[in-house]
Amino acid sequence: MHLSKFHGTGNDFLVAVAPDGVATDAAFARAVCDRHRGIGADGLITLLPGETGADCAMVLRNADGGIAEMSGNGIRCLAWVAVREGLGRSGTLVVDTGGGRRTLTLIVEGGELRNATVDMGPVTFDPSAIPLDAPSAFDLEATFHGTTYLGDAAGMGNPHLVLLVDDVQAARVVQHGPHLEADARFPNRTNVEFIAPNAEGGIDMRVWERGVGETLSCGTGACAAAAVAHRRGLVGAETTVRVPGGELSVTLGDSVLLGGPVVHVFDTDVDERGLTGSRV
């Protein structure tokens, strides 16, 4: 199987093209995403043929093999491969995802993607849409090991719990993240963002991603964090979210726009027989 590796502000993905419409399975995703026995990545994305007006579709499996509805960084990595496959040359790419249809605005030079901005769709604070088993998405408390967090839940096609902390660097992301991910109020588990406003008028963020662990960046998490911070009056409608892997730009409106870099790392061919798992 031919795989391409990318990262968006350190959030790294492997992308495979499946013209036959058959996505990779959970065991194969776990094997290639393993950072010791495989290639290593936060997730594996399969580019599938598009239907009913979409240029293509994407299926994203996290490093644990589980399906994720959407990734803002991942879909921009997918766009790089889509352009190489001859899609999106008009400057627009329409992609069907598990979180709904998304449209990207592309800058293509010399047949290669230079920049991609994603219309991530609207953020939702509706508990049933997130989904969240609570009467309100606001002012949620979560306590673990003597620490009580306060924040809001938000949906970006996938669930998020955005927690306000005094110091992002001191936050116990790795220790508390896996327990907060499994908060019983989130029936599909949740991504967990630890955020604080910074002196530059933006947001500092660290994230525990559902099914992955702490990552250097999360596109949907940056959008959720910006929306929560804006609702609380901490940032404007246009803001920069600073993550360990770099910076992402978020513009809030009827839809949320996400921009940031995409870096092509390498291409490789993998002998599936040498890894655990196979295609469905």
d(CA 2, CA 81): 12
d(CA 171, CA 158): 23
Note whether 57 and 100 are same-domain residues.
Answer: yes
Task: Judge whether 196 lies within some domain.
Answer: yes
d(CA 99, CA 137): 19
Predicted pLDDT of residue 278: 46
State which residues form the domain around 87.
Answer: 2-121+261-274
d(CA 58, CA 78): 8
Note whether 162 and 239 are same-domain residues.
Answer: yes
Predicted pLDDT of residue 276: 59
Q: What sign has the CA pseudo-torsion 204, 210, 211, 213?
A: positive
d(CA 73, CA 262): 8
Residue pair 42/209 in contact by the 8 Å Cβ criterion: yes
Tell which residue, 115, 250, 236, 237, has the closest CA to residue 193: 250
Terminal CA-CA length for the chain: 13
Where residue 266 sits, what CATH number does that domain have?
3.10.310.10
Peptide bond into 159 cis (omega under 30): no
Note whether 200 and 235 are same-domain residues.
Answer: yes
Which residues have C-beta within 8 Å of that of residue 192, sequence separation ≥ 6?
A: 160, 161, 163, 173, 177, 180, 181, 207, 208
Task: Judge whether 280 lies within some domain.
Answer: no
Note whether 33 and 115 are same-domain residues.
Answer: yes
User: What's CA 127's distance to the chain center, in Å?
Assistant: 20
Q: Which residues of the chain have pLDDT under 70?
A: 276-280
Q: What is the pTM of this model?
A: 0.88
Number of domains in the chain: 2
Q: Alpha carbon of 60 to those of 119, 196, 205, 237: distances in Å?
A: 18, 29, 23, 29
Task: Judge whether 52 lies within some domain.
Answer: yes
Task: Judge whether 126 lies within some domain.
Answer: no
Q: How many CB atoms lie within 10 A of CB 105?
A: 16
Helix, strand or coil, per DSSP, at residue 254: coil
Structure tokens at 137: 């998405």
Predicted pLDDT of residue 277: 46
Task: Judge whether 211 lies within some domain.
Answer: yes
Q: Alpha carbon of 204 to those of 8, 103, 112, 170, 234: distances in Å?
A: 17, 27, 31, 12, 12
Task: Judge whether 135 lies within some domain.
Answer: no
